[in-house]
Structure 1
Amino acid sequence: MRYFIICISFFLLINQSAAQGCSDAGFCTMGAMKPDQNYSKRVAIKLRSVEFNYYRGTSLLTPVIHAATVDFTLGINDFSSIQIKLPYQWVTGTLGETAGIGDLSLSYTRLLKTSSKWNVNGTLGAKIPSNDGNKTVNNEKTGGIDAPIHMYYQQSLGSYDAIAGVSVISSDWLFATGIQIPLTRNGNKFTWPQFPNHPDREYIRKYNIGNDLLRGIDVMIRVEKNWRFTNFNFSLGALPIYRITKDEAADPMTGERSKLAKTTGLALSVIGSFGYHFDVNNSIKIIQGIKLVDRDFNPDGLTRNEVFSVSYVYKF
């Protein structure tokens, strides 16, 4: 009970924090890079589960991003599994409202090495876009015409991405690293003049523009300490994501492509989780993230002040 009270107090503290939150193009919750992974000395386990997740993220501006995701993990044999994630996402903000199916995530994970204290897993995967990332809105702020809306409001990143990662897991610790490489650019055409009736022109210029954006390459590291008990567990960790190459975009007027300044650098978040196991098949988990450090220029719409998610997991 003492540990349960400590855990709940931690989440209440986070929810009241004014710090910043999480930035994630999706690969931080794929395969070997997932948070709150269970460690078992028994190798020959065919993991099969379905997870229903609700996610809420606040951005640096007014958009609030919600997503409901179905996440399947299907064991292929005693050492490998595939993961399939499909979200439905809706966004509200002062520029408008959008909703739709998000990008499909696919990954293959294999146990690479095991010992009496550690398991090492590797993942290969991909993100497949649901659209080109150029959804439009038509409202009073656009003057009654269809206008492409910023990437914060898009359900898709609009690009095909390749993903790889590896993790080392013990009963107490999780260390993971991964890389996400965008292979194609999106079709986003958002510019400030397309919202001529927005009442706050200074505000709308805070949306970083990245026409036909090709995101840079992201590298992540996850360090997580876990405390596990009979029916519940909780964890604390850090999630640094470093963009190692610059974003590239087209000039809205000339179409000339160039690298965008200030799009590389570190985005650092702290992550906490809490899980409760009703029995061997049914459990819930809560994850909260707070951003501490962010990049200066973010045209991809991935930046979050704070994220919160709650999941129901059924294992079979």
Structure 2
Amino acid sequence: MKKISFFLLLLFSTFSVYSQGCSDAGFCTIENFQVQSVDSLNHKNAFKIGANFGAADNDIIVFGSYLEYQRTISKVVDLDLKINYLSQTANGFSSSALSDAFLISNFRLNKTSKVSLGLKIPFNDGNLKDNGFALPLDFQPSLGTLDLIIGASKRFDRWNFALALQQPLTQNKNEFIAPAGSDFFSTNKYIRAGDLLLRASYLFVINDKLTLSPSILPIYHLAEDKFTDTDGIEKNIDDSSGLTVNLNAYLNYKLNKVSGLEFSLGFPTIVRKSRPDGLTRGLVANLEYKIKF
């Protein structure tokens, strides 16, 4: 991180334009909850590498990258390990680090149905500091929570539906108290509620190499989040529960029999009024390369 006064950034954010965006804790990027393709079981391994760009609240630009490995154990079980890296930048200030790992087990019920069970494992405690000053969650590479992830997907011809729950099992160590007039939320001793996801998508086959899959992605934040003020009083963060609705599209190009590229784009149409977790994105674009072996 650049050694500049974070207090100056807080003052500047008071005058910045407030953007609208989508909010989730990462589980919408899990493959079983995305667009489901009809993959053969001829290859037991798959490797992915991807990079993404996002426009967040408070004029923050977010760059992310990830590595993902998938292993087919049997016709019923496969495992998925994904490691994320995140960098956030605004007005000359930046923070970057490994964020979270997702460890997911998928169980195939039949040719069109899967259930998933796994964990989101943080690489830090959500209390990254600059010169001893606690940063808001908008600049934390991870929420710092250990989360349980459970869900299922079902395909009907070219339609695919997914339902999933992400529930924090632990909370982070964040100590940030927002100064008066700041657009950032106070998240000292932050307590984050869980999220419920529903996705519906449709597969358009353009030709033997190219497919397009638009989807709608509602995410419901199940309760209001909480923080502890300077007097030691725990308070709800008003309007932090409720619905976010995102629109996404996935464009896949098959390079050959074992590899391909995927470009995806997403943006919100409905957002919660208060999103203290710092996960808001007005727009997200992602490019991914995948190879099976």
Say yes or no: TM over 0.5.
yes
Change (3 A) 1:93 1:238: same
TM-score (norm 2): 0.88
Shift of 1:214: 1.6
Contact kept? 1:45, 1:78, Cα under 8 Å? no
Name the residue aligned to 2:16: none
Cα displacement string for residues 256-293 of structure 1 (whole angstroms, at most 9, x for unaligned residues): 22332211100111001101001111100001001111
Report SS of the residue matched to 2:59: coil
Change (3 A) 1:257 1:47: farther
Contact kept? 1:178, 1:220, Cα under 8 Å? yes
Runs of 4+ in structure 1 displaced over 3 angstroms?
A: 19-22, 44-47
Name the residue aligned to 1:180: 166
CA RMSD of aligned residues (A): 1.7
Change (3 A) 1:265 1:278: same
Name the residue aligned to 2:223: 245
Name the residue aligned to 2:38: 39
Which of 78, 99, 102 is the equivalent residue of 1:102?
A: 99
Shift of 1:248: 2.0
Q: How many residues align?
A: 274
Which of 127, 130, 140 is the equivalent residue of 1:154?
A: 140
Matched, 1:230 2:230: no
Name the residue aligned to 1:86: 83
Contact kept? 1:31, 1:109, Cα under 8 Å? no
Name the residue aligned to 2:192: 215
Contact kept? 2:21, 2:57, Cα under 8 Å? no
Change (3 A) 1:47 1:270: farther
Name the residue aligned to 2:13: none
| Unaligned runs of at least 5 residues, structure 2 | 1-18
Change (3 A) 1:171 1:20: farther
TM-score (norm 1): 0.82
Matched, 1:303 2:289: no
Contact kept? 2:86, 2:97, Cα under 8 Å? yes
Shift of 1:46: 5.1
Matches within 5 A, 1:1-316: 20-33=20-33, 35-39=34-38, 44-45=41-42, 47-94=44-91, 96-114=93-111, 119-138=112-131, 146-193=132-179, 202=181, 205-228=182-205, 229-251=207-229, 253-316=230-293
Cα displacement string for residues 186-244 of structure 1 (whole angstroms, at most 9, x for unaligned residues): 11112234xxxxxxx74xx1112221212111000001011123001111110000011
Contact kept? 1:52, 1:68, Cα under 8 Å? yes
Cα displacement string for residues 157-181 of structure 1 (whole angstroms, at most 9, x for unaligned residues): 1111001010012441110010000
The letter of the residue matching 1:106 is L
Q: In 2, distance between residues paired with 1:217 and 1:47?
A: 33
Report SS of the residue matched to 1:152: helix
